Amino acid sequence: MSKKNYDELADKLLVLVGEKENINNLTHCVTRLRFNLKDRGVVELNDINKIEGVLGSQWSGDQLQVIIGQNVNDAYSVTCRKAGLEEEKPIDENLDANKCKFSIYSVITAIAECITPLVSAILAAGMLKVLVMLLTNLGILSVESSTYTILSLVADAIFYFLPIFVGATAAKKFGCSLGLGMAIGAILLSPTFISLVSSGNPITVFGLPVSAVNYSNTIFPTIICVFGMSYIEKFLSKHCPNSIRSVLVPVITLLLMIPLALCFLAPLGNIIGTLFSTAVMWINGVFGPIAVAIMGALMPLLILTGMHSCLTPYFITAMMTVGKDALCIANFISNFSQGGAALAISLKTKNTNMKSIAVSGAVSAIVGGVTEPVLYTIIVKYKTAMLASVVSGAAAGLFAGLTQVYCYAFPGSTGLFGMPIFIGPVGTNLIFAIISIIIGFIISFAMTYILYKDDSEVA
């Protein structure tokens, strides 16, 4: 869409949301404009959906989300300019679910938000491991070479020092000092502390016993420690005189956190992480292929409800504990299945605008691994497309589970460009991954093409 059309889109959109006077805040994510409005009663979603360039719209709590697609940045800039609003950074976190004071979902979401900013580094580390493995298997790189050592070192360092990185992101999430958050992670990784842990001798601080645990390659201990520290720091900042606050608050906070973290919170986080890892292996061991089939079928619904963000801690834990994961393939299968359904509709429908929307959504899902455009404009609107996506996801997931397809790195893109994560020590793994995805695509395409009819389709 041209800049001129985005001008028209912005003009019409601002009118339908009650002009700029009705806008409290306007942000955007990967595919959507997100309006926080004073009065939602003036909004008519049907009229917004008719605007050229709008792929769909919905309410998420009190937030109006207008789906634009991959070019949302351009639409956002034009809309902000016309409304006289200051542009903000894109939203990384998943904010689609209604917030509650406390729930299992809110806890998992908070953990995911602490990890999300680190995805690029984790992805790079994982892909480096895959590259080293591939070059070694092909005989291009010797395990005795310094290049092999350096590449392995870089990949391992990112995971080893993860507690420090998580300390920074958790501090930002919980609203406390970035430096202190990183300090907590550094304490858990201190060579002196690790040597004490490795010695086997009892360790105490202020007379309290310290658990002998190695916290490298962990995420939960640091997150829990920083969460607890945020309350201490905020309390001290509130009650400490301004003249000495900058000195006393960090010192007292750190002194209080040393026994609290090493004796209670970090060991608790380690227990949670161990239980989480055990649960992951138990699910894969007991349910096996059925677990992958269920995940493949439910993935569109998980994305719709925002629950897919809860999978991030799971994938990272799997990579750090067993070095591979069996459920990740379900995300790829679902993306290609939704793309197949959209392509079938593009060939079957007589609506020119729908053809264009379906093709662009399919390309986004298959190539880029971003399904929101096709999910909100095709899958949730047409019953045959949703049915085909669910059935094909289950069938292809079952095949992937039976052939024991694993990913060997953290998934960045879940489209074509993310396929190298299935390259591993078993030569057939990538082949079975590709076959699984093709099965999902073909079943979804065929079902949708046979069942879809413009006149009878219920939106």
Comma-separated ranges of CATH 3.30.1360.60 domains in the chain = 3-83
267 contacts 261 by C-beta, under 8 angstroms: no
**pLDDT exceeds cutoff 80 at 128:** yes
pLDDT tens, position by position, 401-449: 999 999 988 776 788 888 888 987 888 999 999 999 999 999 999 999 9
Containing H/E element for 36?
A: strand 32-37
Four-way CATH pick for 3-83: 3.30.1360.60, 3.40.710.10, 3.50.50.60, 2.60.120.200: 3.30.1360.60
CA distance 218 to 170: 13
What is the residue-averaged pLDDT of the chain? 84
pLDDT tens, position by position, 243-299: 888 889 999 999 999 999 999 999 998 888 778 777 766 777 778 789 899 999 989
pLDDT of residue 337: 95
Who has greater pLDDT, 5 or 287?
287
Residues in CB range of 301: below 8 A, 6 or more apart: none
| For range 302-318, the mean pLDDT | 72
Active-site residue flag, 310 = no
| For range 31-52, the mean pLDDT | 85
Both structure tokens of 218 = 């962990």
pLDDT of residue 247: 87
pLDDT tens, position by position, 315-365: 777 777 777 888 889 999 999 999 999 999 999 888 888 888 889 888 888
- Cα-only R_g, the chain: 25
CA distance 153 to 128: 10
pLDDT of residue 103: 61
CA distance 370 to 386: 17
pLDDT of residue 401: 92
**pLDDT exceeds cutoff 70 at 97:** no
Half-sphere exposure of 256 (CA within 13 A, CB side): 17
pLDDT of residue 105: 62
CA distance 28 to 33: 4
How large is the greatest C-alpha to C-alpha distance in the chain, in angstroms?
77
Which residue out of 29, 80, 310, 328 is catalytically annotated?
29
